[in-house]
Amino acid sequence: MPELEITDNDIDEFLQDYNQRLSHPSMALEFDDDRRAIILSCDDVQACPGSGKTTIVAAKLLILEKKLRSADLGVCVLTHTNVARNEIISRIETHPSGFRLTQYPNFIGTIHEFINRYLATPYLRSTEMNPVRIDDEACAALMDNRISYGTRTFLANKHASISELKVHHETGKVQVPGFKNVSTSPSYNNLIEVFLERTDRGYFFYSEMYYFAKQCIQENSEVVSALRKRFSYVLVDEMQDTQKFQDDLINELFFCDDVMLQRLGDPDQAIFDNMGGESPNETFNGNSALVPLKSTHRFPVDIAAKISGLSVTGIGELQSFKEAPHDTPHTIFLYTDVTKVNVLERFCELLDALEINNQSRCAKAVGGTEGQGGFISEYWPSYDRTKSVKTPRPQFLIEAVSREWWATETDAAFQYALLMQCVLDLLRKGGVTESVGAYTRHYSATSLGSHLRTEGAHEEFKGLLTSWIMDGTPSQELWEAQCTKLLSLLGIDGEEGPVKEYLVYSESNDDDNVIAQAGTSNIYRSASGREIEVGTIHSVKGETHDATLVLETKNRQYDIEKLSGRLAFTENGAISGTQKQKFARQLYVAASRPRRLLCMAAHQDRVQPDVRTQLEQHGWIIQLV
């Protein structure tokens, strides 16, 4: 598409303009030949950890914006998470063109959001079905509250889940858990009744929306033409995590001569692509012709050299813009059955010796699997797997008001949405519902807003939430007054036990307060007082740490034992076997988080003496625990 062609001169003009806006010359942005080539082309790219992919994406979007605007065309950027979307927006929003990129005719958002907005929701409304809430958790909770005792017992005996009761995203057939065929049994009929009630109320699973999106395309051929005309450049970020059915839909929409489609990601970090048992994409993760970007700004050359053997794609040794500090003790802790519980303490002692920043988010210990029997909790029995989710929901309203909860998230829209979700949780705890025809249902953010406007209370409600965003945690006296006002606006009885518990006050993060008890993370505190966060590898995807400890865990086999030859470079060539490739990708993600110190922990019996020798020759320190 000639009108959107980017030249070296365009890049030079952008860099000159961008760098002139910086407060200090040391912050100046530069692009080497590899990064310029990505901006100039629409080739699919394999970008290694810490390669500056988001910066490249932001620069390309800002350069394209002027060309798109003059041609009256739009750009579409598809991400997998709101965090990724916000990261891209944060890179462009300070530039004059950045705001325009977030407005019509452009779109920057998640794949789910795109599918729902442009395809599935319009289709459902055309069939007189009004989607009120698209949320897997809410759908499961609604149906779980409606099934009979007999049905609940049936599902338990079949080891089936109510979450499986939904429209299949490919066939469009209703999947009834525990049944392969239509049945006249009471449990089958009860499940169908519950399913119909859910959809009638407008509750849908995320995956169901893909089927409705496909129906929209099949029944309205002009929809595809309209989207292609509007979005002339489409970029898919973190493409390695795209599942096959998502990839198929994206290709059906945008794989054509009229659209510039570019995909960026790293198949070596594909640890989410088969979540839920879905097939991974083939057009990207199985593509051996991806343009490699294998130079990193995150970690030094010594870490780059140590993790290159974990690459499933065989991208080769990563290059680094950072020289290695002298004699950094990247350590493999080898424990026994008895000393396994001492590993975290030894890691903290090493952090103390190196004087690494004593904040829990700066150093983390991560493993592949949770639970019991060769899992994370064997290193630390106090580990709580319920706190390991990437974006846990506050257990108390004060947690959402506390600035500590937001941590790295400064976007006001995120903060407002978090508070609104907590208000909806408060309504549920107070038993407050809305009536829709013959049914009652829980409020959604939209329906609550409409209700408050009708009652003339919306401005006061919005002002209360805004004050929490702007001012953070109030005094206890003010908090109690604000909660009284909130309960009055919502019509909730404040004497209800669950409501009173949800509105409990606490202003600090001391060991004995309620927030620490409810906490959002698993924080291990060493004898010296150092704190490290413990979690799963999946929970730290996309993060950067000062130091990372990778814990050996078991999923039929022990991951570090299985890959010890790759770490010691006694085993070369392609990594074969599905399980071994899965382990390699997980360890690659975990080991590429730190910018300073990388450590691992494995059982002494599972790392043989000859392998230990080779590990030491490749710069590892072996420490017996």
Identify the helix (H) or strand (E) that includes residue 140. helix 136-144
Q: Is 84 annotated as a binding residue?
A: no
Q: Is 79 annotated as a binding residue?
A: no
What is the number of H-type helices and E-type strands within the chain? 26, 23
Provide the token pair at 152. 């609940």
CA angle 576, 581, 585 (to 5 degrees): 150
Q: Is 105 annotated as a binding residue?
A: no
Between the alpha carbon of residue 113 and those of residues 91, 122, 210, 307, the distances in Å are: 20, 13, 11, 35
CA 612, CA 564: separation in Å to the nearest integer?
9
463 phi/psi in degrees, rounded to 5 = -65, -35
Which of the 8 DSSP states describes residue 573? S
CA 479, CA 489: separation in Å to the nearest integer?
15
CA 32, CA 56: separation in Å to the nearest integer?
11
**Whether 50 contacts 544, CB under 8 Å:** yes
**Whether 546 contacts 595, CB under 8 Å:** yes
CA 130, CA 128: separation in Å to the nearest integer?
6
Q: Is 316 annotated as a binding residue?
A: no
Q: Is 599 annotated as a binding residue?
A: no
262 phi/psi in degrees, rounded to 5 = -130, 135
Q: Is 47 annotated as a binding residue?
A: yes
User: Dihedral of the CA atoms 77, 81, 82, 87 (nearest 10)?
Assistant: -70
How many Å separate Cα 449 from the centre of its chain?
28
Residues placed in the known binding site for ATP: 47-54
Residues placed in the known binding site: 47-54
